[in-house]
Amino acid sequence: MNRNLLIGLGIFLAVIAIGFFLVKRPSPATNAMPVPGSNVEEKTVNEDALPAREITVTGTDYAFNPKSISVKAGEKIKLTFVNAGGTVHNFVIDELDVQTKMIGPGKSETVEFTAEGDSTLTFYCGVSNHRNLGMEGELTIEQ
């Protein structure tokens, strides 16, 4: 074989190998793993950037559906209260300082809050004696 042809083929294969290596190599900006003791900063998730979990609670005359809700501690909640009853109702969680306005039949209101603690809280309708008539439920916050 011609010596020049072999040199050209060798250079061609070397360029292909280098190109393949550069394409397959992970990008340092996207795949950097922090090494203990190194000065690479670990990135944390910005919890404010996470979308809120959406929950809908429907109030009828003297009942809630669902009657119990479970969430994780620290979870952002976007709760929509829908009044499907025949009179004015609202939605209240005293310990989390959550309260909708009193809304009429067929209306809804949305409140946002962060579930804090590790407990079971009571939510209820704060209108007149609606809570005593059974319009309450439980919010369980789990770690």
Q: Phi/psi at 57 (nearest 5 deg)?
A: -120, 130
Q: Which pTM value belongs to this model?
A: 0.66
Q: Is residue 53 part of a domain?
A: yes
Q: Is residue 128 part of a domain?
A: yes
56-73 as b/e: b if 16+ CB within 10 A: ebbbebbbbeeeebebee
Q: Is residue 28 part of a domain?
A: no
Q: What pLDDT sits at residue 18?
A: 75
- Domain limits at 122? 47-142
From the list 44, 74, 47, 69, the residue with the least C-alpha distance to 58 is: 69
Q: Is residue 73 part of a domain?
A: yes
Q: Is residue 12 part of a domain?
A: no
Q: Is residue 130 part of a domain?
A: yes
Q: What pLDDT sits at residue 57?
A: 98
Q: Is residue 31 part of a domain?
A: no
Can you give the pLDDT of all 143 residues of the chain as single tens digits? Answer: 578 777 877 787 777 777 766 666 555 554 555 555 545 444 455 556 679 999 999 999 999 999 999 999 999 999 999 999 999 999 999 999 999 999 999 999 999 999 999 999 999 999 999 999 999 999 999 99
Quote the number of domains for the chain: 1
Query: What CATH number did the domain enclosing 130 receive?
Result: 2.60.40.420
Q: What pLDDT sits at residue 48?
A: 60
Question: How far is Cα 129 from Cα 31, in angstroms, rounded to an integer?
Answer: 59
Q: What pLDDT sits at residue 45?
A: 53
Q: Is residue 54 part of a domain?
A: yes
The strand pair at 76-83 and 53-60 is best described as: parallel
Q: What pLDDT sits at residue 141?
A: 97
